[in-house]
């Protein structure tokens, strides 16, 4: 697993930010047999799961904080955020450390996911809008859907997903 994390961290560091404006790279990860993606330019690094410092009275999806080279980083359990069944953390469980731009400031946060999957280059034109699903609260976190190699990947809107004011 650490080889996979190191390989993907190297891909993140080698990402060409001046690549084709219409094609963006997405880091994908698995949650409950579904694949989700985030813009790789927002990914700072991937880490294996480690124990956290619990924050009293935090929302249930906030697992706690870690000290990342002097920066206190809150960790969001994506299973809890999406109201999925809990699952014990394993050797495949990883933390994706993400830089998020909000209106007033930028924050570094981590999301706990079941496993990292791959890095895909996706043309903006191939991204479809997620269909409205009525009362499904998780719909607001989906930026769009894309078909990659016969599999549907949900691309996440990180600003909405990690805005702790919205829950």
Closest CA to 80 of 63, 97, 61, 107: 61
Tell me the residue ranges of DSSP E strands in the chain: 23-31, 34-39, 43-48, 62-68, 71-77, 94-101, 106-113, 115-123, 142-148, 151-156
Residue with tokens 């991204």: 127
The pLDDT value given to residue 151: 92
Dump pLDDT digits (tens) for 106-135.
Answer: 899 999 999 999 999 999 999 998 877 655
Dump pLDDT digits (tens) for 7-46.
Answer: 777 777 776 655 567 899 999 999 988 999 999 999 999 9
Q: What percent of the chain has pLDDT over 90?
A: 63
pTM of the model: 0.84
The pLDDT value given to residue 98: 96
pLDDT at 165 over 80: no
φ, ψ of residue 152 in degrees (nearest 5): -80, 130
């Amino acid at each position: 697993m650490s080889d996979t994390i190191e390989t993907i961290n190297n891909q993140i560091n080698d990402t060409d930010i001046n690549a084709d404006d219409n094609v963006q790279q997405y880091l994908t990860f698995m949650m409950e047999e579904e694949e989700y993606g985030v813009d790789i330019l927002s990914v700072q690094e991937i880490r294996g799961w480690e124990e956290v410092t619990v924050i009293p009275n935090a929302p249930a999806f906030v697992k706690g904080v870690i000290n990342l080279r002097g920066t206190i980083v809150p960790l969001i359990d994506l299973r809890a955020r999406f109201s999925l069944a809990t699952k014990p953390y394993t050797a495949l469980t990883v933390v994706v450390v993400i830089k998020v731009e909000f209106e007033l400031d930028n924050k570094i946060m981590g999301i706990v996911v079941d496993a990292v999957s791959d890095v895909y280059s996706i043309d903006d034109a191939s991204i479809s809008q997620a269909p409205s699903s009525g009362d499904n609260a998780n719909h607001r976190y989906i930026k769009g859907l894309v078909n990659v190699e016969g599999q549907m990947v949900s691309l996440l809107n990180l600003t909405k997903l990690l805005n702790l004011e919205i829950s």
